[in-house]
Amino acid sequence: METEEETEKIRRLAQCVRKTETPGIRRPAHCYSRAVYSAFSEIAVLREEGFSLTAIYKVMKAEGLLPEHARLNSFQKAFKKELTRRSKMTKTQGTSNPSGGANKKIPTEVSPVISERKKPEAKVAGREETEAERIKRMTSNTVHIGTGTIIKHADGSFDY
């Protein structure tokens, strides 16, 4: 139960904050990405004609397509992200469909490069490895230095 004095202090505190401080700027979420997404084709054409993103940003802000306190670097980031997203989409699907086509399956084929790879051979120069050599090779640590390679074995020995 608050007393009348505490309630009055709280009211004065709220009035003092309203008089001395300014409220934060609240922007609509994703305003840059929505503006760039909707006008991407026009922005891309302007970019091909030689106009900078700064000039496009100024006009879009003056026309009210961006918020009043919009920032240039946020607009540029949104454009680059949209450009990357669309280029990835065209690479994976081979079309410029902005809907994404999430339900389409991409055919997978075995690459001829993978099928032509040779498997590592167990025998080295016609002789078989002994069990001790194999364990030594598996537990060793290889360090590449400028003049060659040093192999540190688990038993403390080295090979150069």
Task: Report pLDDT for 74.
Answer: 87
Task: Report pLDDT for 28.
Answer: 55
Task: Report pLDDT for 111.
Answer: 46
pTM: 0.42
Task: Report pLDDT for 138.
Answer: 76
Coil, strand or helix at 106 = coil
Residue closest to 78 by CA, chosen among 35, 42, 48, 43: 35
Residue closest to 142 by CA, chosen among 160, 130, 125, 121: 160
C-alpha distances (whole Å) from 5 to each of 9, 10, 15, 71, 118 are: 6, 9, 15, 45, 86
C-alpha 128, offset from chain centre:
48
Task: Report pLDDT for 115.
Answer: 46
- What is the mean pLDDT, run by run of 10 residues, along the chain of 160 residues? 79 80 62 85 89 90 83 90 89 61 50 49 60 77 82 79
Q: What is the residue-wise DSSP string for 1-46?
A: ---HHHHHHHHHHHHHHHHH--PPP---TTHHHHHHHHTHHHHHHH
Token duo for residue 155: 């038993």
Task: Report pLDDT for 120.
Answer: 53
Task: Report pLDDT for 106.
Answer: 47
Task: Report pLDDT for 94.
Answer: 64
Do residues 35 and 78 make contact, with C-beta atoms less than 8 angstroms apart? yes
